[in-house]
């Protein structure tokens, strides 16, 4: 730590007296400074962004969002910020969840002054050395830093757009089922329907007619967790949060490319994966989503028009400066009787086919007509195995990009 730099602390607790007691205690430490105070999890996220503290002292039980969820949200946006959880319960389960969310330390309340101060100092040293590392090693800094218990600290959420220049090849099918498979307690998934005119993600999960992206568009410059949570549809069976397309096609034009980009940028701060479904027509919105993406999933079928359109699109991506390793080329509706094989397509387009999803009408068509994603139930069926293969490739590609320190296209520009 650079000598003379005070450790800046944010105190988060819903009880005024607790906040004040901690603040008074810290007043006596010459190397510590209170950078702010927050009363709720949501307030903590906002104040942390504004004040950019080194250390956050975080209560667990708070009225709106609990301290663990807030920790996860803050750590994904501000990887250098270190969180020390203060809990009334000395509960193993809480402790484990806190660590998974990216907390640095866990103290039981009421904690003695000395114990608290040394935890702050330890966390402060780490925060400041994380910041120094990022500043010093710009070109090759390993994004994300330390990984613990399978949770990649500090990694920003990844935007993954599913796009095909040919319609009807399975973008929505892939986007929906991939979202279901990638979503779990540690990696929360948002599914965005950017097929603004005739998007049907909500129909795939039988949640139509609710809020949509058109409700967020006018508020893109004042987004906060609360506004976003209000608009997202929570798909109960899978836990995936869905940002639906406007329910009427004439409302599509209410969302501009610029607004969509801002929405995706915000969502990636709260979700580990933001999966974007698109229409085959290349609109401003689709280009904005592609531009915002860490990965692009490009499905093709074994039909010449689809293969040729894919080739044209790969050429366009090259012109846009998108590297080939950001594209996951997928063969959908694969039928082994057709002699346009994945190998031949890959060779012709000079783009590896990373996953093959068989033609499996029994699984896929039934699911869409029932409005129930076929994952995870049909994981043993041909289409289900294909989706699992794709999910593995997504995870592997994300880790590879992170290891390259290049996970974020925006940061590299
Ligand atoms: N692997 C598969 N096996 C059988 N049927 C499939 C498979 N994948 C998709 N389908 C079917 O193909 C049709 C088109 O799929 P989907 O709607 O996902 O494509 P899309 O690319 O999103 O289309 P659009 O351009 O209309 O948005 C649907 O009827 C779907 O059930
Ligand atoms: Mg579609």
Residue nearest to atom 10 of ligand 1 (CA): 170
- Decide: 5 and 135 in contact? Cβ < 8 Å: no
Nearest CA to ligand 1 atom 31: 365
pLDDT along the chain (413 residues), means of 10: 76 94 93 95 92 95 92 90 90 82 86 87 89 61 29 65 98 98 93 97 92 96 90 96 95 95 94 97 95 97 98 95 95 97 97 98 96 97 98 95 64 46
Q: Which atom of ligand 1 is the closest one to the Cα of 357?
A: 1
Q: Is 395 exposed, middle or buried (0-12, 13-18, 19+ CB in 10 A)?
A: middle
d(CA 407, CA 155): 9
- The three-class DSSP label of residue 411 is helix
Beta pairing class for 55-59 and 32-38: unpaired
What is the second-level CATH architecture of the domain 157-412? 3-Layer(aba) Sandwich (3.40)
The predicted pLDDT at position 136 comes to 66
Domain ranges within the chain, ordered by starting residue: 7-148, 157-412
Q: Of all protein residues, whose CA lies closest to atom 26 belonging to ligand 1? A: 168
Ligand 2 centroid to residue 286 C-alpha, Å: 13
Closest atom of ligand 1 relative to the 164 alpha carbon:
21
Does ligand 1 lie within 6 Å of residue 173's CB atom?
Answer: yes
Q: What is the pLDDT of residue 379?
A: 96
- Ligand 2 centre and the CA of 318: distance in Å? 24
Per-residue confidence (pLDDT) for residue 155, from 0 to 100: 55
Q: For residue 110, give every residue at least 6 positions away whose Cβ sits within 8 Å of its Cβ, in sequence order, or none.
A: none
Reported as type and span, the H/E element at residue 175 is helix 171-182
Helix (H, G, I), strand (E, B) or coil at 406: coil
Atom of ligand 1 nearest to the CA of 169: 21
CA 203 / ligand 1 centre spacing (Å) = 13
361 CB within 6 A, ligand 1: yes
Q: Is residue 168 in contact with ligand 1, taking CB distance under 6 Å? A: yes
Helix or strand run (H / E) with residue 397: helix 382-403
The CATH class given to the 7-148 domain equals alpha beta
Question: Atom 15 in ligand 1: which residue has the minimum CA distance?
Answer: 170
Q: Which ligand is nearest to the CA of 281?
A: 1
Atom of ligand 1 nearest to the CA of 168: 23
Ligand 1 pocket check for 333: Cβ under 6 Å: yes
pLDDT of residue 88: 85
**From the CB of 360, is ligand 1 less than 6 Å away?**
yes
Q: What pLDDT shows up at residue 403?
A: 83
Q: CA dist 114 to 13, 28, 117, 285, Å? A: 19, 12, 5, 54
- What's the gap in Å between 199 CA and the centre of ligand 1? 13
Ligand 2 midpoint to CA 204 (Å): 10
Counting ligands in written order, the one closest to the CA of 163 is: 1
Fold match flag (7-148 vs 157-412): yes
């Amino acid at each position: 730590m650079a000598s003379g730099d005070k450790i800046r602390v944010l105190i988060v607790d819903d009880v005024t007296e607790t906040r004040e007691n901690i603040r008074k205690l810290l007043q006596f430490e010459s190397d510590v400074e209170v950078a702010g105070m927050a009363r709720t999890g949501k307030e903590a996220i906002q104040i942390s962004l504004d004040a950019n503290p080194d250390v956050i002292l975080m209560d667990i039980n708070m009225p709106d969002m609990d301290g663990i969820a807030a920790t996860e949200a803050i750590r994904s946006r501000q990887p250098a910020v270190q969180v020390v959880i203060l809990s009334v319960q000395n509960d193993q389960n809480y402790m484990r969840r806190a660590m998974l969310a990216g907390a640095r330390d866990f103290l039981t309340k009421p904690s003695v002054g000395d114990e608290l101060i040394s935890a702050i100092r330890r966390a402060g040293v780490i925060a400041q050395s994380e910041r120094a590392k990022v500043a010093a090693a710009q070109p090759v800094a390993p994004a994300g830093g330390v990984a613990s218990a399978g949770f990649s600290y500090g990694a920003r959420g990844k935007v993954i757009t599913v796009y095909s220049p040919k319609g009807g090849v399975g973008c929505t099918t892939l986007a929906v089922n991939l979202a279901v498979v990638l979503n779990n307690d540690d990696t929360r998934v948002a599914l965005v329907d950017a097929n603004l005119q005739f998007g049907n993600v909500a129909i795939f999960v039988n949640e139509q007619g609710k809020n949509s992206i058109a409700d967020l568009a006018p508020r893109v410059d004042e987004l906060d967790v609360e506004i976003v949570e209000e608009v997202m549809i929570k798909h109960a069976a899978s836990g995936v949060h869905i940002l639906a397309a406007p329910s009427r096609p004439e409302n599509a034009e209410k969302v501009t490319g610029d607004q969509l980009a801002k929405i995706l940028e915000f969502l990636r701060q709260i979700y580990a994966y933001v999966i974007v479904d698109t229409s085959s027509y290349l609109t401003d919105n689709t280009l904005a989503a592609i531009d915002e993406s860490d990965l692009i999933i490009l499905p093709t079928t074994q039909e010449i028009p689809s293969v040729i359109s894919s080739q044209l699109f790969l050429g366009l991506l090259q012109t846009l400066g998108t590297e080939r390793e950001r594209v996951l080329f997928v063969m959908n509706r694969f039928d082994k009787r057709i002699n346009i094989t994945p190998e031949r397509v890959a060779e012709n387009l000079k783009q590896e086919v990373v996953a093959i999803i068989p033609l499996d009408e029994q699984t896929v068509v039934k699911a869409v007509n029932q409005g129930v994603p076929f994952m995870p139930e049909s994981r043993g069926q041909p289409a289900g195995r294909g989706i699992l293969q794709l999910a593995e490739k997504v995870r592997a590609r994300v880790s590879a990009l992170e290891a390259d320190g290049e996970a974020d296209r925006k940061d590299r520009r």
